[in-house]
Structure 1
Amino acid sequence: MPPSIYEGLTQLGAAAPQPTSPEEAVLERVPNPHPGERYVVRFTAPEFTSLCPITGQPDFAHLVIDYVPDAWLVESKSLKLYLTAFRNHGAFHEACTVGIGRRLVEELAPHWLRIGGYWYPRGGMPIDVFYQSGEPPAGVWIPPQEVAPYRGRG
């Protein structure tokens, strides 16, 4: 029997403690079962949290990650644990959003990746941060992220 593509995963199906920092977090990947196809994978994290590096106050965001895989897919439990590692991590919105995008590009080498960080306001001003690794591949349907901008009470 040939080896499973899931051999070597250390977090899926096992107890996995929350990483203490994004740098410590292990992002795991599995082979793309459709390497010849161009398609989009989307992850949405509507309850992302991190800390302000100056005040230590919590910051909240709705993250949308879209990517067109090449040889690798990110294993979703490892992604959840990686994102959870930001809960006690102090960094500005831009550092979190762009850092997550760059780390995924480094680990997966996708054809294309984008991340939208839709941050909830603190101090009366929401900050939205967007990053993408380049031009989207031709011929791939990439749906809009459609996260409504913050409107306040009105």
Structure 2
Amino acid sequence: MTDKNIYENLTQLGAATELPQDPDQAVLEKVPNPQAGTKYMVRFVAPEFTSLCPITGQPDFAHLVIDYVPKDFLVESKSLKLFLGAFRNHGAFHEDCTVSIGKRLVGLLDPEWLRIGGYWYPRGGIPIDVFYQTGPAPEGVWIPDQGVPPYRGRG
């Protein structure tokens, strides 16, 4: 498999791409996994994730950690960045944002395993942490702790 074959269908990488106005409009892209058949974990961290409260329109902020063990595909990171950025003007509760991101990635990639931790900063004095996982972590893969401590003034 050549690099051209792996990357030839990408539409956003290397091109000027506007931030989608809504997560449903965002195009998530995948590439064939050049290490398919090898069990390893991929981590994406988005420490400045933002969305809006669907009731008040006030901004919500989170530190997201996405871990997955790929099978045949990898998510293309620029498309993931644009997808996550599309939540900036999207109104949804913390739980919905976190779980929707996880499910969208599972639907795109069909990974061996995926988990997402949404570590939300307090609103009304209460931090909300949301966790979604597709099942038990696979054996034989190093799965480190997500490294985000419980809220104690995270900033």
TM-score by length of 2: 0.96
Instruction: Measure, in 1, the Cα distance between the counterparts of 2:140 and 2:5.
Output: 31
Corresponding residue for residue 33 of structure 1: 34
Identity %: 75
Corresponding residue for residue 15 of structure 1: 16
Letter aligned with residue 101 of structure 1: G
RMSD, aligned α-carbons: 1.3
Instruction: Measure, in 2, the Cα distance between the counterparts of 1:112 and 1:50.
Output: 26
Matched length: 153
Aligned-partner SS, 2:6: coil
Instruction: Measure, in 2, the Cα distance between the counterparts of 1:15 and 1:141.
Output: 36
Instruction: Measure, in 2, the Cα distance between the counterparts of 1:44 and 1:152.
Output: 19
Moved more, 80-89 or 130-139: 130-139
Shift of 1:4: 2.5
Q: Where does 1:42-61 land on structure 2 (aligned, <5 Å)?
A: 42-61=43-62
Corresponding residue for residue 129 of structure 1: 130
Instruction: Measure, in 1, the Cα distance between the counterparts of 2:9 and 2:72.
Output: 17
Instruction: Measure, in 1, the Cα distance between the counterparts of 2:35 and 2:84.
Output: 26
Corresponding residue for residue 77 of structure 2: 76
Instruction: Measure, in 2, the Cα distance between the counterparts of 1:17 and 1:47.
Output: 19
Instruction: Measure, in 1, the Cα distance between the counterparts of 2:153 and 2:13.
Output: 39
Instruction: Measure, in 1, the Cα distance between the counterparts of 2:51 and 2:6.
Output: 33
Instruction: Measure, in 1, the Cα distance between the counterparts of 2:119 and 2:145.
Output: 14
Letter aligned with residue 153 of structure 2: G
Shift of 1:152: 3.2
Shift of 1:76: 0.1
Corresponding residue for residue 115 of structure 1: 116
